Amino acid sequence: MMDILFPQQLKKYRTKLGMSQEDIADKLFISRQAVSRWESGDATPDLTNLIKLTDIFDCSLDSLVLGVSQQHSDASDQGKIDSQEFTFDPRSGEYIRRHHNMNFWDFLAGYWWLIFPLGGFLSWLVPALIETFK
């Protein structure tokens, strides 16, 4: 199981950008003491603040909370990891390919709008065929 390294990672990213605890607090509209408690490990931020921190530090949530290094995303030079194709497995610390088993209902949920053009086409085709075979 992976250790939660959030306090160390928060301090590392903050100092890397040359920001003070006060700077982070101002961006999140919280007190400097809250940021200090996060860095000391006495408290943890809520999910909303975690997501805002990933935006501020331009890092992944996995990297900020779990300390997962960016080596897993060496493809970052070519682009971001496609979240539709891959998902992060926190047990192994790696991205794994998602399974795509689409059934009829999944297809219908994604492409329900095709009923309208298909219906319009059939409303033209059926009367034309009937007229042809009269």
What is the structure's pLDDT at 82? 72
In whole angstroms, give the CA distance from residue 64 to residue 61.
5
What is the structure's pLDDT at 40? 94
Residues of the chain with pLDDT under 70: 1-3, 70-80, 100
What is the structure's pLDDT at 80? 67
Residue 128 host element (H or E):
helix 115-132
- Amino acid identity of residue 52, one-letter, is K
Q: Transcribe 8-63 into DSSP letters.
A: HHHHHHHHHTT--HHHHHHHHTS-HHHHHHHHHTS----HHHHHHHHHHHT--HHH
What is the structure's pLDDT at 42? 94
What is the structure's pLDDT at 88? 75
What is the structure's pLDDT at 71? 54
What is the structure's pLDDT at 122? 95
What is the structure's pLDDT at 89? 74
What is the structure's pLDDT at 77? 46
